[in-house]
Every structure is written in C-alpha cells, then in structure tokens.
Amino acid sequence: MSLLTPNPGLIFWMLVVFLLVVFILAKFAWKPIIKGLKDRENEIQGALDLAERTRAEMIQLKSDNEKLIAEANAVRDQILRDAKDAADRTILESKDKAAVEAQKMIESAREAIRNEQQVAVTKIRKEVAVLSLEIAEKVLHRELKDKEAQEQLIAELASSARLN
Amino acid sequence: MYTHLRLFFTTALVAATCLLNVPVMADEPTQHEAEKVVEGINQAEHKIEHNLEESEEKFNIGQMIMHHIADSHEWEITHGMVLPLPVILYSADRGIEVFSSSNFHNEHHEYNGYHLVHGDAETIVPVDESRVVYDFSITKNVASMLLSAVILILIFTSIAGYYKNSKGKAPKGFHSAMEVIILFIRDDVVKPNVGPKYEKYLPYLLTLFFFILVNNILGLLPGSANVTGNIAVTMTLAVLTFIVVHLNANGNYYKHLVKPDGVPVPLLLIMIPVEIVGVFMKPFSLMVRLFANMTAGHIILLSLFGLIFIFQSIVIAPVISLFALFLNFIEIMVAFIQAFIFTLLSSMYIGSAIEEHSHADHGH
C-alpha cells in the first residue's frame, strides 16, 4: 500500500518544482517561442498573400495589355475603314460629279443641237418659202403667157361655180 | 534478500573498477589513491564472499521490484554507487534539520534521534514516538524531478533564444524537431479542445506535456527514479489541473452541475450526485492513469529482469533481454502517449469548463 500513499514531502517539492518550471518556462520560453512561431506563420502567410496579389496583378496587367492591344487593333481597323470609306466616298462623289457634268454637257449639247436644228429648220422654211415663191412666180409667169388657156380655165371655173 | 542481483552488480562493478582503474578521487595524493582502490577491491571481494554465504536465501522478486519503483532517500545508480541525498526534516520542537542520508548507514539505521525504516518505501520516523516530524527530504524522486526541471529549462530557453536570434530564417535542427511537438500540442491538442481562448492555458499545458514526457523518458533510463510512476507526483499534477479548471470555469459549468439541461426534476436526485462525483472523477482518473501506466511499465520490465535471477540460467538471459528490449520500445511509446493523454484530457476539461454556449459537454 505504500505505493498508493502519497508522500507529503514529495507533494510539496513537486508543487514547488512544477510551479517554478511553469513560471520560468511561461516567462522565458513559451512566450518567445509562441511569439516566434506566430510571427513566422504571419510572415509565411504574408509572403503567400503577396505572391497571390502579385499573380493577380500580373494577370490584371496581362489582360490590360491584351485590352490595349485589342483597342489599338480596333482603332487601326477603324482608321483603315474610315480611310477606305473616305476614298470610296471620294470616288463615288467624283463619279457622280462626272456623271452630272457629263449629263450637263450632254444636255447643253442637245440644247445646242436643238437650237441649231431650230435655226436650220427655220432657215429651211425660209428657203422653202423663197423657193416656192420663185416657183410660183415662174409658174404664174408661164401660165399668164397663154391667154387661151386662161380663158378656158376661167370658163371652167365659172361653169363649175354656181352663181346664185 | 535479492542476493543474486546484488552479486551480479557487485561483480560487474568490481570488474569495471579493475578494468578501467578509474581514480575515484582526483584530489587525493597518488599513494593514498592506490591504497583506496585496493581497499575498495578488498571490500568488494569481502562483500561477494558474504553474499555467497547468503546465497541460499531466496531471491525475492517482489521486494526487488518494490525497492526499484519506490522513492528513496539515496540515489542508487547501480549497486554500490550510491549518491546520498539531503534529508530535510521539520518538527515543531527542533525546527528545520538538514543532514545527509548517508548518516543512516550504520548498524541500526539511526541518526540524531531518527530511524530510517526500510519497508516497501523508506520512511524516517523519530525514535521518540510522541514527536511529530514532517519529512521534506530531497528524495530520489525530487532529485530526478529537479534534474528534469533543469533539462526542461535549458532546452526550452535555448529554443526561445533561437527564435529571438534567427528571425525570418527557416527552422532547422533540434529546434525544428521540438517545434513539431510544440505545434502538435498547440494546434491538435490545445486549440481544438480548449477553444478560442486557448492562449491563456497554452503555457501550462505545454509545460505539463513536456514535464511529464521528460520525466517519463528519464524514468526509463537504468538507475533512474520512477517520478511519474509515483502517486504523489501524478496527484499534484491532477490537482493542479483541477484547480486550473475550476478557477476558470464559467457560470454555465457550475449551473450544469446543479441543474443539467433537459433533465426531469425527479431525476435530479440521481443526476446531481453523479455530476458532482464526475467532477472529482476527472482528476482522479488523470492521477491513476499516469501513475498506473508508468508503474506497470516499470513492474513489467523489472519482472522480466527478475526472471533471469529466478531461472539462474545463461540460456534464458538473452531471450529475456530481447523481450525486455522490445518492451522498452513500447515503454518509450507509452511515455509519449501518457504525456499526450494527460495534456489532451486536461485541455478537454478546461475546454468544457470555459465553453460559452449553454449546452456544455456532459463530462464524457
């Protein structure tokens, strides 16, 4: 039974030694050790966070670059398209203008032709009138030379005419 | 008495002394030294003869085991190599008395009115039986405990210094080996069981773990003391945990003792005594578990070695030694497991006492 009977002297020393060990270790060992461990954990966590942040930044940067390139490409395309449009428009405009001019020229030519025609027709009419007069004069001249024929004609006319 | 064991150790000691011829006291003049060595050998031979005469007497294995696991007023490293320890006595009439336990080495084991009784455990009783004497001696267990305290303080202050000096460097060497254990105790034992306010209890629980561990391991060395296999030591540790638990326990914990939730009133007649017994069973189980495990380990090992002296056969010794080696490995494991279990259960008891939400652990 002596094994199961606690010895008061041993309890006393145990208490003294253990409490002393707890006190000394708590003050001079556990505090710095736990602080050190925590500091290192924070450091590692900080480094990991920083790496993560840097990675995110890199991704952001990359996507920014891509966006910039895409924008630049879009701007270039736009400029090219605008230039082409402008060229097309210019060509179209010049074509239109040329067509209009041509039309105008054709119109004026037509007008001129019409005027010439008019003039020509008028001239021809005049000529025809003159010629007709001359012919008529010549015919009259010849007819009036033959008195017999004239009398016959008058007679004919007079017979045909019903005098009322 | 256990003469064969004594015979074995004495022979071994004599052989060692003859082979190594170690000077026992370097300060003495050389001719004295030689005389002393010769004298020592003569004495040892005399002892061997004496033992041989007594060898008819039976080897008492029970007594041998009890002698080895019990506390003592001197530290017997091997047979014949005895370190006398100071005896500190307090009595109302004489005050504090301090003297060496080697003073009891005489015919009647008596000195200065005190008598050293060799039972299962050594006790110092006054010859005058009316006097009341309190024994605060530095016994073998106390000395071993002081040694382990010094070891603990040296190891962990050096580790603390390392953390101060090499900030921002990767851990390496012995420090990182200890760090693994510290982190294990912090993250897997204390943190999940105590809860969010674990940092307040961490120094106590870490010290508890390493104190038990170092004493368990020191106890496995040959010639060492059986500190954690002593009921006074485990009782003190258990009571300290009990005090820590009940000083920090919140209202929920105490309310739970007298009025457990969801229990019908007639059942309270049974439940309240059960709860209150449970409060005292916790430290009691802590005390008995560590004490019984460590003592049982020592008893098994000593029984195995005792078998060699009982069978007295050269054939049995290697077999027993192999088996004892195997058991020693198991004991190393037990040393860790018991330190871990004590810390784990202490954390759980603290955790259940400071738990905030009302439906506390029922102490299972």
Report d(CA A42, CA B128) in Å as an integer.
67
pLDDT tops 60 at residue B234: yes
B64 interface with A at CB cutoff 8 Å: no
Residue among A6, A8, A29 whose CB faces B160 most closely: A29
Name the amino acid, one letter, at A68.
Answer: L
Q: For a pLDDT cut of 70, what percent of chain A falls above it?
A: 98
Sign of the alpha-carbon torsion through B214, B216, B217, B218: positive
What DSSP line would sit under B258-282, residue for residue? Answer: HS-TT--HHHHHHHHHHHHHHHHHH
Q: What are the tens digits of pLDDT across the range A13-66?
A: 999 999 999 999 999 999 999 988 888 889 899 999 999 999 999 999 999 999
The model's confidence at residue B19, banded by pLDDT at 50, 70 and 90, is very low
The model's confidence at residue B18, banded by pLDDT at 50, 70 and 90, is very low
When pLDDT is averaged across residues B237-263 and rounded to a whole number, the result is 89
Residue among B160, B199, B232 whose CB faces A14 most closely: B232
Contact A9 B186 (CB under 8 A): no
Which positions in chain A touch B202 (Cβ < 8 Å)? 30, 34
Name the amino acid, one letter, at A120.
Answer: A
pLDDT tops 50 at residue B52: yes
Q: What are the tens digits of pLDDT across the range A74-90?
A: 999 999 999 999 999 99
Interface test with B, best of A5, A18, A27 (most B CBs within 10 A): A18
Q: What residues contact residue A84 under an 8 Å CB cut-off, 6+ apart?
A: none
If you ran DSSP here, which 8-state letter would residue B59 be given? P
B72 interface with A at CB cutoff 8 Å: no
Interface test with A, best of B207, B343, B346 (most A CBs within 10 A): B207
pLDDT tops 50 at residue B67: yes
Which pTM value belongs to this model?
0.70
User: What pLDDT was estimated at residue B5?
Assistant: 54
When pLDDT is averaged across residues B71-84 and rounded to a whole number, the result is 84
User: What pLDDT was estimated at residue B12?
Assistant: 56
Q: What are the tens digits of pLDDT across the range B101-132?
A: 888 888 778 888 888 887 767 888 888 888 88
State how far the alpha carbon of B322 is from the alpha carbons of A2, B33, B316, B319, B327, in Å: 32, 40, 10, 5, 9
- ipTM of predicted assembly, 2 dp: 0.79
Contact A37 B183 (CB under 8 A): yes
Q: For a pLDDT cut of 70, what percent of chain B falls above it?
A: 83
Q: What are the tens digits of pLDDT across the range B313-359?
A: 888 889 999 999 999 999 999 999 999 999 999 999 999 999 876 55
User: What pLDDT was estimated at residue B6?
Assistant: 57
Contact A29 B153 (CB under 8 A): yes
User: What pLDDT was estimated at residue A1?
Assistant: 60
B146 interface with A at CB cutoff 8 Å: yes
The model's confidence at residue B28, banded by pLDDT at 50, 70 and 90, is very low
Q: Which residue has the higher pLDDT, B78 or A16?
A: A16
